[in-house]
Structure 1
């Protein structure tokens, strides 16, 4: 049976690996709005990047900065711009185990960081669930993840070096050029090229992974009364059912609790979590197209995560979630992320309204996970105005004009409920929200865009997020 599933998944992969994009145009993970760019240039050396900035400024060109290009709202490219691909600027420069610090170039991935720090019994404080993204990209969106104690990524950054629009390299920290620190972190590449970053590390630990199935209406109380007060629960994630048979009625919570009786050395070998990619790819594709597939996906998750819980895992391995099974490239449609942050007291009411809107607008919701983010007072465009529960929603939507208009209509309705709940939404994704909604959710926008003009008066660093909301 597994062999059959694997074979079918391979056929499906071959069938859907074609592209609906013009090879002479550039886009991002969304595959929306492809445009012609001046050229794509690989970042290779400091002097080269300085020369590029000065040359672009002299010629009146625009620069866009790209990593893995998983942002979905045009943050990493712009029409007729020079796109600076930083993925080749990826060296680990130093590790200081005693100080618990690492210095890495912006194009290095979280996997590169994990490989560098794992031998010292160290780990990152915050990162996304996947370790394939670049450090520069992650801090440019002020990412968050499964850690419920250390907040968004800005709290893990000690300093970084920034190549400015004037062609100068400056050190930025909470004490040096401090005004730029909360602007460039969560600044979507609009204040300069981040060259390298000093990250604050924490101890690697051994966790006992446990999963609890519950009614969705029980989740908020469970999280507030059993998860948050327990300091030994370091990581947490939950999932909500989008299956027809239990739609927005069931949820399961996965906790990672420190087990001090276990030796780290017995469990700290870095492992790949992309096993069973082929059958998983097939099942997730069925999830996209049928109610039966959504039921099967949810029941399989319950079996593996709930009935087979009590897994032992190191912190570094817990932060290496599988992702390849979700890859999708079929022409005409795509999987598109949206994310909503809701204060704990408003969570129960909001999540029910969310489920109702998704049904009413006939939005194809594939997966929804819950994270927790501590209040962030630093980043100017902070999404965590207070302690928040984040709802990470993966939708499947047509890329056609009509399909995208329907998607935009549904998202705008959801954002209105977010605003009514005193919440926020995440900016790295497709810019469906209106200008009015953006300004309502991000009241720091005026200061942010005014400072953008102060530091980059010629708007050398450019992307579509800036054009839509601030240009």
Structure 2
């Protein structure tokens, strides 16, 4: 059978298109599914790596570091990859995925401690300790993150009586650049302690750690609405000086009509109804995540969506006034809504630390700065973190309010440039008020701004090169700010 020339050309074209799809599909499998191209939750910094290794057993982690040493390969360390500034990977590096190294090794109810491998999540810990009536002292507001990742960024949370995570660490084991494993505490190999916690994976692999626990407690919830200029006095008088208040958070409006003016505060106070603890101590799972995600979606796209989201938040917490909840359940906040998978946009975080006494004037300056800026600011949570400079790269140079900003932005270069200019401006406003900013997020701030916010940065990076002379452990954060 003879095929006409036009039909033959069309057939050839279809075959070429089919072959192209096959090639592209194979490339995607090879370079994405295999882990050769990875990114973090922000998706703004995709990177080609050499390979990803799942660290499931101690020997496999040792072998990975020894192989990297022999072949002179760079190594980056990853957990849940919620640090958004390239902290968990590097071009053509070996990425050590620690999420499979996740055993709870020992719970000690007498001394109120837990020994865990670094890939354990806070959810794993909560499930292990809840039957003993124990609770975590410090963790993020969500329980999905790994302990190793949390140690590497020195997290803080809602507990106003315990500050940064470093305060709750007894010791940890660290695999150094040469494969040697050492125990690090405030007494043993102590030079590593303030460097590794808040060290963003630059000094070695955190293998396991012993953390301090506390008793699980029954709280009742109290919510109030107030104006931003009332918050300092409210916090000092009604929260900090009230021993019954154990946890606290606030939210600041991003709705157009009440932008950076309206607030509501939620306090968690020790309940006098101790006998009801057993009626509430079953660990809860996420509820209403679909509604939160839906309203956040409206908030991304419409100003009226921001108004609706703000109204919903206030109504939800007002309705929970007087509600009883255990400490463990307070620390099991919704997490799925953190995962936004828009094709052309992404949600990023920023966090700014402001001395408590400077909050009101800081908000005034921030509002003035943002008045004419095109930024899609969807949510601001305010927490408290007390002064602690045990970590060399400490963000808590004073008693601080921590403002966590959720921002939606486009993913192309134009959008990144626009967002970067605004964020650098917000950082300048923060530094003007003797504040700081949190380092786990996208590398928008300048090197100069980072050194102003973290005056020990030069010493920190110098110690990194001293203790890791081959610069075996690197990441994009280090490349941007440390060299």
For the criterion TM > 0.5, the same-fold answer is yes
2:13 corresponds to: none
The correspondence of residues 355-434 of structure 1 with structure 2, limited to 5 A, is 355-434=367-446
1:271 aligns with 2:284: yes
2:11 corresponds to: none
Give the TM-score taking structure 2 as reference length. Answer: 0.92
Deviations 1:186-236 (A, max 9, x none): 000000000001000011000001110111211111011111001110100
1:459 aligns with 2:475: no
1:3 corresponds to: none
1:113 corresponds to: 125
C-alpha displacement of 1:266? 2.0
Deviations 1:3-35 (A, max 9, x none): xxxxxxxxxxxxxxxx9xx73511111101211
Runs of 5+ consecutive residues of structure 2 not aligned to the other structure: 1-27
- Structure 1 or 2, whichever has the larger Rg, is 2
Q: Which has the higher contact order (CA 8 A, sep 6+)?
A: 1
1:182 aligns with 2:189: no
1:7 corresponds to: none
CA RMSD of aligned residues (A): 1.2
Task: Confirm or deny: 8 A CA contact 1:206 1:259 kept in the other structure.
Answer: yes
The correspondence of residues 295-310 of structure 1 with structure 2, limited to 5 A, is 295-310=307-322
Task: Confirm or deny: 8 A CA contact 2:221 2:320 kept in the other structure.
Answer: no
For 2:362 and 2:405, the matched residues in 1 are separated by 14
Distance verdict in 2 for CA 1:176–1:267, change over 3 Å? same
Runs of 4+ with >6 A deviation: none
Give the TM-score taking structure 1 as reference length. Answer: 0.94
Task: Confirm or deny: 8 A CA contact 2:74 2:94 kept in the other structure.
Answer: yes
Task: Confirm or deny: 8 A CA contact 2:144 2:335 kept in the other structure.
Answer: no
C-alpha displacement of 1:326? 4.0
1:72 aligns with 2:59: no
Deviations 1:39-97 (A, max 9, x none): 11100111111111111011010000000000000000011000000000000000000
1:94 aligns with 2:129: no
Task: Confirm or deny: 8 A CA contact 1:213 1:306 kept in the other structure.
Answer: no
For 2:199 and 2:217, the matched residues in 1 are separated by 32
The correspondence of residues 317-336 of structure 1 with structure 2, limited to 5 A, is 317-336=329-348
C-alpha displacement of 1:356? 2.6
Once structures 1 and 2 are overlaid, which stretch shifts more, 128-137 or 242-251? 242-251
Task: Confirm or deny: 8 A CA contact 2:45 2:85 kept in the other structure.
Answer: no
For 1:202 and 1:321, the matched residues in 2 are separated by 19
1:234 corresponds to: 246
The SS at the match of 1:360 is coil
The SS at the match of 1:88 is coil
1:35 corresponds to: 47
For 1:100 and 1:278, the matched residues in 2 are separated by 36
The total of aligned residue pairs comes to 450
The correspondence of residues 201-240 of structure 1 with structure 2, limited to 5 A, is 201-240=213-252
Task: Confirm or deny: 8 A CA contact 2:352 2:404 kept in the other structure.
Answer: yes
For 1:311 and 1:396, the matched residues in 2 are separated by 32
The SS at the match of 1:162 is strand
1:349 corresponds to: 361
Deviations 1:260-314 (A, max 9, x none): 3223222111011x22222322211001110110010111111111244111000
For 2:336 and 2:118, the matched residues in 1 are separated by 23
Task: Confirm or deny: 8 A CA contact 2:409 2:415 kept in the other structure.
Answer: yes
For 1:75 and 1:97, the matched residues in 2 are separated by 35
For 1:245 and 1:445, the matched residues in 2 are separated by 40
